Amino acid sequence: MAEQSLPVVAEGAATEDGPASGQGISRRALLGTAGATGLVLGAAGGAVGYAAAPAGATPLTSVGSDEVMFHGKHQPGITDGLQARGHLVAFDLAAGAGRKEAAALLRRWSETARRLMAGEATGSHDTDVARDAGPSSLTLTFGFGHGFFSRTGLEKQRPVALDPLPDFSSDQLDKARSNGDLWVQIGADDALVAFHALRAVQKDAGSAAKVRWQMNGFNRTPGATAHPMTARNLMGQLDGTRNPKPGESDFAQRVFVPESGTPAWMANGSYAVVRRIRMLLDDWEKLSLGTQEAVIGRRKANGAALSGGTETTAMDLEKTDAKGDLLVPVNAHARITRPDQNGGAAILRRPFSYHDGIDADGAPDAGLLFVCWQADPLRGFVPLQRKLDRGDALSQYIRHESSGLFAVPGGAAEGEYVGQRLLEG
């Protein structure tokens, strides 16, 4: 739906049937033999791997066996393909908890993430919720909020890019469901695997941190369509057509902090803007198909621009109809969010849809858990949202209800934990 930078309806981070970069590794060939060999993936210490299968058992399907590596240059869950289930959760450090407690917590979280992403149990006190499943493309991603640095005495290491976001005219933010000292993103292609990871993270927090807010989301399940395709959001629009692609020459520059960037502990990291964006679906669904397409600037059926072609055909912003009217309206969402209409500003959107029940008036509480990634939010999300504030046709059908900005450091090397360069530097 969004052209390039939508902070509302992300045009997707990749196809939901595969990772968008080389971070994800399929274990199909390995685990496909599990039934014949009784393969056990447990770590030393007796943690039994969930991907294990006794002799003669049916091996895991490709959905269950797909594994994303925890260790790497970047944290997982940024460039990997969309997952079927997600949880976003923010924590505040407990009273009296500081740098020492935060370091111990990140060490626990990193080890738990490493184990679970490999399809292993967390340890002797595992809940067994995901015992029968494989890794299912599980990812856990960790970030730091603005308040984390004052709570840990690390104010001098707080990035300028983490300054609070400005106010926007479309904001109707609930402060209790915004921001936080720590942020965790969980995604998986199996709901029980994702829930298991969420419970493990919450239990690991112990007395060091308490949950500030939690949100649950979903996407289409891999394999649900006849062929890989761009996902749809709850408005029925294809959502991800013009997302930056890892193969593009400027992808890393747009999404990740360079190794020479400042502060040094953020090298190869990224900044996540998180927004809970409610879709006013009752109002949207009253519109005719033609009106919906004019609001977005794309065909609902196939995502093609109203100027013609297919989903991937470049939009012609000057093309007119027989009456001389622009085929893509001047206030169409897809026009406004194009990088060439915003000084080149671009973000990598990787959202989840959500549905939290029905309000007293019968309206669905549903929409988008918008997550976008960029090397600097002042050059990514902020200018784009300001542009949308000035006349996006979609704005009357959505409502921004919560917001957060988090510094997500680079990936942990073997033997390290996420954020170690900050907390022990």
With b meaning 16 or more CB within 10 Å and e meaning fewer, what string describes 107-131? bbbbbbbbbbbbbbbbeeebeebbe
Mean of the pLDDT values across residues 66-89? 97
The DSSP 8-state label assigned to residue 259 in this structure reads T
pLDDT at 25 over 70: no
pLDDT number for residue 59: 61
Beta-strand runs (E) in 11-65: 24-25
At 14, is the pLDDT very low, low, confident or very high (cuts 50, 70, 90)? very low
d(CA 307, CA 320): 8
The DSSP 8-state label assigned to residue 333 in this structure reads H
pLDDT number for residue 86: 98
pLDDT number for residue 190: 97
pLDDT at 158 over 80: yes
More confident: 3 or 116: 116
More confident: 32 or 217: 217
- The residues carrying an active-site annotation are 239
pLDDT number for residue 343: 73
pLDDT single digits (tens) 32-69: 333 333 333 333 333 334 444 444 445 667 889 999 99
pLDDT number for residue 58: 55
Mean of the pLDDT values across residues 346-364? 96
Question: What pTM was estimated for this model as a whole?
Answer: 0.86
pLDDT number for residue 4: 43
Mean of the pLDDT values across residues 262-280? 98
pLDDT number for residue 323: 94
In sequence order, the β-bridge partners of residue 86 are 187, 217
pLDDT single digits (tens) 193-214: 999 999 999 999 999 999 999 9
Tokens 């393969």 map to which residue?
A: 39
For the ranges 81-85, 178-182, 192-196, 387-391, the lowest mean pLDDT is seen at 387-391
pLDDT at 19 over 50: no
Mean of the pLDDT values across residues 166-182? 95
pLDDT at 272 over 60: yes
pLDDT number for residue 376: 97
Contact 237/117 with Cβ under 8 angstroms?
no
d(CA 353, CA 370): 8
Counting residues of the chain whose pLDDT is more than 90, the rounded percentage is: 76
Host H or E run for residue 404: strand 398-408
Residue 420: phi, psi to the nearest 5? -60, -35
At 124, is the pLDDT very low, low, confident or very high (cuts 50, 70, 90)? confident
- CA dihedral in degrees (221, 224, 226, 232; nearest 10)? -60
More confident: 58 or 321: 321
Counting residues of the chain whose pLDDT is more than 70, the rounded percentage is: 86
Terminal CA-to-CA distance of the chain, rounded, Å? 42
d(CA 61, CA 400): 38
Domain edges within the chain: 62-423
